[in-house]
Amino acid sequence: MSKHQEKPKIGITLGDLNGIGPEVVIKALADNRLLQMITPVVYGSTRVLSFYRKLMNLEEFNYSQVKSTGQFFPKSINVVNCWEDVIEINPGKPSAESAKGALLALQKAVEEVKGGVIDAFVTGPIDKNTMHGEAFPFTGHTEYLTHEFEATESLMLMTGQELRVGLVTEHVPLKDVPSLISKERVELKIRLLELSLKNDFNISKPKIAVLGLNPHAGDEGLIGSEENDTIRPVIIDLKNKGKLVFGPFPADGFFASGQHKKYDGIIAMYHDQGLIPFKSFAFETGVNFTAGLPVIRTSPDHGTAYNIAGKNLADESSMRQAIYLAADIVKHRAEQLAEKQ
C-alpha cells in the first residue's frame, strides 16, 4: 500500500493541562469512527489522560503508550509521553507547570512532524500568558510555527460552515494594524489564501473577497486612505493577472447581507474583523488552519476556557472538526502529489 493510501497519522497535542484541551481531545477520540479514518497520536501524558478519563467517568476510553518513536498501533489511540516529571493538574487554574507541559507536547509534535513520523498535527488550546517567556517568546501557535518551520510567512485561516477567513495581521495591538497594511503584505496573504484553497481544499479557481480596513471601506477616502492607496491597487493588479479577487468590501455589510456565501475565501485586515463574524457563524465547528507552512497544522477555534475546565461541559465539536480537516488536507495534498508524478 502506498503512503497516500494509508490511514494518516494525526498528532494531537493536549494544550494547557488545566484547560479544556485534554477533555475535548478525549471526547473527540472517544468516537470510534475516527479510528477507521486516522491513526491518532496524542502528545502529552498518559497520566493526564487517566486523570481526565476518571474525572469524566469515561473508564471505557482506552489508549496505548508509545514505547519507540513511530511505533504506533494503527487501531488504537496512541499516546506519546512528553515529560517524566509529575505535573500537578488543577483544572481551571493556569500555572507555569501546566504551560510547560503544553510546550513540551507541542515541541515533541513539531519534532515528529518534521521527521515525517506523523503526517499532520492538531494543537490543543494554550494559555498565551503563562506560556509566554524565554522558551516561548511568541504571541501564539501561528507565530511559533511560522518561526519553527522557517516559513517566510504564513496565513491564519479560519474554516468552518463553508466559511474561510484569512487574516492580514494576527495577534498584534489594534493601534499597530494600519502600519502593517502594506501592498506587499496584503498581496502575500491573498496569494497564500489562493494557494491553500487550491492545494488544501481542492478549489481549482478560488473566488476571494477582500475586506477594507476602515468603516465603510474608507468611504472613498473620507474615512481613511488605506483602501485607495494600498488595498484596492493590489486587488486591481491581481485581477489584471487573471485572479478572481474582489473588494475592498465594508466588513459589516459584507457579512450582514450574506455576501460571504458567494466566495471561497475572505481576507480580513485584522483579528477581530475576521474572527467576530467567523465565530458568530461557526463557533462550535470552526477550525484554525495555518496555511503557508510546509506541514499541516489545525486547531480548534476556542481557547482554554478555564471557567468550565474539569466540569465535563466542554463541546468537542471544534476539536473533532480540526482532526477531520487535518486528515482531509493530508489526503488532498497526497492526491495532488500523485497526479504530478
Q: Supply 137's cell numbers.
A: 517568546
The per-residue pLDDT for 5 is 55
Residue 29 and residue 33: Cα distance in Å, rounded?
Answer: 9
User: Is-contact 101 86, C-beta < 8 A?
Assistant: no
Domain with CATH 3.40.718.10 in the chain: 1-151+293-341, 153-291
Kindly report the backbone phi and psi dihedral angles of residue 65, in degrees, each rounded to the nearest multiple of 5, phi listed first. -80, 130
Cβ neighbours for 226, distance < 8 A, ≥ 6 positions apart: 178, 181, 212, 213, 214, 218
pTM of the model as a whole: 0.91
The per-residue pLDDT for 338 is 78
| Sign of the alpha-carbon dihedral angle for 190, 194, 197, 200 | negative
Of 76, 80, 64, 78, which is closest to residue 32 (Cα–Cα)? Answer: 76
Q: Which CATH superfamily is domain 153-291 in?
A: Isopropylmalate Dehydrogenase (3.40.718.10)
The per-residue pLDDT for 334 is 87
How far is C-alpha 264 from the chain's CA centre? 18
The per-residue pLDDT for 162 is 83
The burial class, CB within 10 Å (0-12 / 13-18 / 19+), for 126 is buried
Give me the tens of pLDDT residue by residue for the chain, a chain 341 residues long: 344 458 999 999 999 999 999 999 999 999 888 999 999 999 999 999 999 999 999 988 999 999 999 999 999 999 999 999 889 999 999 999 999 999 999 999 999 999 999 999 999 999 989 998 888 999 889 889 999 999 988 999 999 978 999 999 998 999 999 999 999 999 999 999 999 999 999 999 999 999 999 999 988 889 999 999 999 999 999 999 999 999 999 999 999 999 999 999 999 999 999 999 999 998 778 999 999 999 999 999 899 999 999 999 999 999 999 999 999 999 999 888 777 77
User: Is-contact 63 49, C-beta < 8 A?
Assistant: yes
The per-residue pLDDT for 1 is 35
Q: Which CATH class is domain 1-151+293-341?
A: alpha beta
